[in-house]
């Protein structure tokens, strides 16, 4: 598993600008909504463009009529020439006139097409599908092709890409996996790595390594159907390069210098040498003298020796004891705050037994509201002894389990 920091990139970004200049008559979209390609976004005043089109169409019709008349005359001249009634020069002149008018009609047709195109630009449509940004122009503004900000920006976020850097040491394995047709899963997590945002697949890697950092950029694609990912969003990336199946894993806190302490049935511990593999979260894969289901020590390892007697601490009970100790400490602080400076000075000079007796007396004399605080203070004074007793059985244990561990092959 390769962890990295990444940034979300829109699959495509388009600044919607007017292709024709004019007054903005209407806005047909809401900021932040999803639009489809070709959807109408705004309209520009079309009257001047409609007038230009009408003029071009009139010129075309006039020249088409002249061309039709010239073609009829040419047909008549050719019939007369066949009867040797007119000179051939007159027929040639008429042919030239017909070709001239054909060119004029073609030019007029081009002007009509251009006028229609300019008129179509008065309807501004979405060039791509995506999410709209904030509006940059309002109704009544005069817009044109030279506007830098345009009218609105569209970003394609379904799908969306994540760009991140991976160490160059992983490049060979990643390329081998991609070349074999394997699909490399990628997960995105939030800034605190507490919530998974999306799952996707690695799409491609860059064509050059950054010599400054020794990393290479990679890009992964995500469907983003729920729309939780935005362009330029910061994400934590986890790339699964390989998957080791049926490997033995233990908590990483149980490993010390390639050894673990195994808890035997009689409550004693023994060292077992292992070979550490890849890590995934708070667990690490191991190989060696360890079986599936055996318990290993995860806490207090530095105080253990071969054959030492240990007792497994229940995690829930330890949590409750710690919470009770913290609560008692808070009550003791409240009681100490109620003492006079002279009384606090006296308490500081007392032995542990004297302090207990002092707080018992205060509890007997205190009002009902302060009795709980006094009781808590007395319990806090006794807490070090309980902690020492718990320390005499210095071991939390966890079982070794067999399963699948995501891992980069280079870490094996």
Structure tokens that stand for 312 in this block:
């497994």
Report the alpha-carbon distance of residue 201 to residue 319 in Å, rounded. 40
pLDDT in tens, 288-339: 888 888 888 888 788 888 888 887 776 666 677 667 767 777 777 777 777 7
Query: What are the structural domains, with CATH classification, of the chain?
Result: 1-42+125-240 (2.40.30.170), 46-121 (1.10.287), 244-313+396-411 (2.40.420), 315-391 (no CATH)
Token pair 């903005």 is at which residue?
A: 24
- CA neighbor of 62 nearest in space, from 114, 115, 104, 113: 104
Percent of the chain predicted with pLDDT > 90: 50
Q: Does residue 193 surpass a pLDDT of 80?
A: yes
Strands 123-125 and 295-299: unpaired
Single out the residue of 227, 390, 373 nearest to residue 322, CA to CA. 390
Do the beta carbons of residue 7 and residue 162 sit within 8 Å?
yes
CB 125 within 8 A of CB 151: no
Helix (H) or strand (E) holding 337: helix 315-338
Question: Where is pLDDT greater, at 283 or 315?
Answer: 283
Q: Name the percent of the chain lying above pLDDT 70.
A: 86
What is the model's pLDDT at position 398? 58
Is cis: bond before 276, omega within 30 of 0?
A: no
**pLDDT, greater one: 207 or 380:** 207
Higher pLDDT, 388 or 71: 71
Q: Strand pairing partners for 251? A: 283
Is residue 407 predicted with pLDDT exceeding 80?
no
The pLDDT tens digits of the residues spanning 247-278 come to 888 888 888 888 888 888 888 888 888 888 87
- Position 386 confidence tier, pLDDT thresholds 50, 70, 90: very low
Supply the pLDDT for residue 221: 95
Average pLDDT, the chain: 84
Question: What is the rounded CA–CA span in Å between residue 282 and residue 284?
Answer: 7
8-23 pLDDT, tens digit per residue, is: 999 999 999 999 999 9
CB within 8 A of 347, min separation 6: which ones?
336, 339, 355, 358
Among residues 278, 313, 290, 277, the alpha carbon closest in space to that of 394 is found at 313
Rounded Cα distance between 30 and 135, Å, is 8
Q: pLDDT tens across 342-352, in order?
A: 887 887 888 87
Q: Per residue in 87-103, pLDDT tens?
A: 899 999 999 999 999 99
pLDDT digits (tens, 9 = 90+) for 194-219: 899 999 999 999 999 999 999 999 99
Whether 382 shows a pLDDT value over 80: the answer reads no
pLDDT at 401: 57
DSSP annotation string for 168-213: GGGHHHHHHHHHTT---EEEEE-TTS-SEEEEEEEEEE-SS-BTTT
Residue 112 burial by Cβ neighbours in a 10 Å radius (0-12, 13-18, 19+): buried
- For residue 399, what pLDDT is reported? 58
């Amino acid at each position: 598993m390769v962890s990295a920091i990444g940034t979300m990139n829109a699959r495509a970004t388009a600044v919607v600008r007017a292709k024709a200049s004019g007054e903005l008559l209407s806005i047909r979209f809401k900021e932040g909504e999803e639009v489809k390609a070709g959807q109408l976004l705004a309209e520009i005043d079309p009257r001047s463009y409609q007038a230009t089109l009408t003029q071009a169409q009139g010129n075309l019709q006039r020249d088409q009529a002249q061309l039709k008349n010239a073609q009829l005359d040419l047909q008549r001249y050719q019939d007369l020439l066949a009867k040797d009634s007119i000179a051939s020069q007159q027929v040639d002149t008429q042919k030239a006139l017909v070709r001239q008018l054909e060119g004029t009609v073609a030019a007029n047709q081009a002007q009509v097409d251009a006028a229609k195109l300019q008129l179509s630009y008065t309807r501004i449509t979405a060039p791509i599908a995506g999410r709209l940004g904030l509006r940059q122009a309002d109704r009544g503004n005069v817009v044109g092709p030279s506007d830098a900000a345009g009218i609105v920006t569209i970003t394609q976020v379904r799908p969306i890409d994540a760009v991140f850097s991976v160490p160059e040491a992983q490049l060979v394995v990643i390329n081998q996996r991609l070349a074999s047709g394997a699909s490399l899963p990628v997960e995105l997590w939030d800034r605190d790595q507490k919530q998974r945002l999306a799952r996707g697949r690695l799409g491609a890697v860059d064509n050059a390594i950054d010599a400054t950092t020794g990393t290479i950029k990679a890009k992964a694609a995500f469907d983003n159907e729920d729309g939780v990912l935005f362009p330029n969003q910061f994400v934590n990336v986890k790339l699964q390069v390989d998957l080791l199946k049926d490997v033995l894993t233990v908590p990483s806190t149980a490993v010390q210098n390639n050894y673990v302490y195994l808890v035997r049935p009689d409550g004693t511990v023994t060292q077992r040498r292992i070979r550490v593999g890849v890590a995934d979260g708070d667990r690490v894969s191991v190989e060696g003298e360890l079986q599936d289901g055996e318990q290993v020590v995860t806490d207090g390892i530095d105080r253990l020796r071969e054959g030492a007697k240990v007792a497994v601490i229940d995690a829930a009970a330890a949590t409750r004891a710690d919470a009770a100790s913290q609560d008692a400490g808070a009550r003791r602080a409240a009681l100490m705050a109620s003492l006079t400076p002279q009384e606090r000075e006296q308490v500081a000079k007392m032995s542990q037994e004297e302090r207990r007796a002092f707080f018992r007396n205060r509890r007997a004399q205190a009002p009902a509201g302060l009795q709980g605080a006094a009781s808590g203070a007395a319990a806090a004074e006794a807490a070090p002894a309980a902690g020492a007793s718990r320390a005499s059985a210095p071991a939390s244990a966890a079982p070794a389990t067999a399963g699948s561990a995501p891992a980069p092959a280079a870490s094996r």
